[in-house]
């Protein structure tokens, strides 16, 4: 699945934007993942 499609889905999902991220160690890693797939912070 293209990153743009993942980002479009994630931006519409409250649980993705404001949920509990499992398997992510810190804010820096979360920011890097969001930037890589194009999710707005």
pLDDT value at position 34?
Answer: 81
What torsion do the CA atoms of 13, 16, 19, 22 make, to the nearest 10 degrees? Answer: 160
Residues 6+ apart with CB under 8 A from 14: none
Count of structural domains, the chain: 1
pLDDT value at position 33?
Answer: 81
- Residue indicated by tokens 């707005």: 40
Encode pLDDT of 1-41 as tens digits: 888 887 777 766 655 556 667 788 888 888 888 888 777 66
Range of the domain at 31: 3-37
pLDDT value at position 5?
Answer: 83
């Amino acid at each position: 699945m293209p990153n743009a499609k993942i980002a479009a889905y994630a931006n519409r999902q409250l649980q993705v934007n404001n949920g509990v991220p499992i398997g992510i160690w810190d804010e820096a890693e979360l920011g890097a993942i969001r930037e890589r797939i194009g999710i707005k912070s």
